[in-house]
Structure 1
Amino acid sequence: MQKRILIIDDEPAIREMVAFALRKGDFEPAHAGDALEAQSAIAERVPDLILLDWMLPGTSGLELARRWRREDPTREVPIIMLTARGEENDRVGGLEAGVDDYVVKPFSARELLARIRAVMRRTRGEDEDGNVSVGELRIDGAAHRVFARGEPLAIGPTEYRLLHFFMTHPERVYSRAQLLDHVWGGSVYVEERTVDVHIRRLRRTLEPSGLDGMVQTVRGAGYRFSAAA
């Protein structure tokens, strides 16, 4: 599953240049020129990573980073700041606002892709090929396949996305609404109980391998994925 990266920059030429590099790197780019467009893009689908320009019209990138670190849908989304401001005080200010890394303009496509992959490995538990492992479960990102105790599983596309999200965010409780935002996208109208249906399907998929207990119900709160099944 291609990672979606939201590019937020008020210069169309820079957005296009970055989007071209992302597509070459097998990422799916999304665009925004200001804070309003960024919020609309996030509502449509929460990205896997945000590339955020420091200087934006109306609201600065720093203010957006602080806001998104307080909001549930974006709290754990990695943010890389794109900036011409490379001084230590600026970098420290950005890190304190919740930014995960900096790329100082001008930058090369090669450096940008390397920083993106490094941040994703740190924050999502993935290796360079997009593979994820938790206990006896493994996702082969390139092949879009799931293996349980070394055996391949037949899994539906929604269950795959749900499992991928769980495996890259283990040991944390997510409500149905949060799972809808992250897995289905905020602009898609889906009943919250739909989450329960896909959780049951995912458990049935994992049951023959004895790993269905990794998907745990937390009464009154939501669901958690844990290696300690």
Structure 2
Amino acid sequence: MLCLFLLLSCVYQSRGQAMQKEVVAGIGIKLCNQKCVERGSCMSFAYAIDRLSCHLLYNDSVKRTTKDGYVVHPKLRSQLSACSMAKCGFNTRCVERRRGGAACVKGYTDGSSLESRCKMNSDCPGSMFVCFTMTCKCVPGYSFNPANNNCVRQCKVYGDGLTRYQGLGLKGYNDRAENTQNLKECSNMCIREKRFTCLTFEYLPKRGTCQISKFGYLDVEYSRRETGQEGWIFAVRNCE
């Protein structure tokens, strides 16, 4: 396997003084801190989150500001999180990616679904996430748990948050069907259902058709899991 670590020695000029450093490329901030701890003479480190680039600094430079996106940190015996560098906006939170970076995520409905942008599954944080229509979602059939930013097969308590999947559906497993004015009304019908715990629903915007179900996508046999349903929106309830 091709090693991503590139070790170099160089001198960084800051405020007219030479700053001895060692460059380690292709690692996350946790490993950057760990490498500084392992090298007893390393005093601090500078890290650029967008490049996964680590500069181990060999003089006391914590108060200095480096350039080009690098931020200086003191070495810590306890591990840093990639989120310690992220600047997330209002109504967003930070989650760590599997490859060492961080992402600011937010919900798009009343709940807190993880909807960070992606190009492939490895861009998403956690093994039970998939890149579905260029956004990170739980594997269909799993619900998002905002308590730990993870996906689970079942929730102890289901909340109001929903994750939507274009084109999926359940064939023959609809427990209640009505016409609603919009997607919000359909989601409310599912959430407020008293006769059973609604886990999923399907909505066809052009007709206003709303079909809710007590079954999840993986609760039914494979032949009943529909894909390619043009125009339909399939939604899964997330955990409280």
TM-score (structure 2 length as normaliser): 0.29
Higher helix proportion: 1
Higher strand proportion: 2
For the pair shown, which has the larger CA radius of gyration, 1 or 2?
2
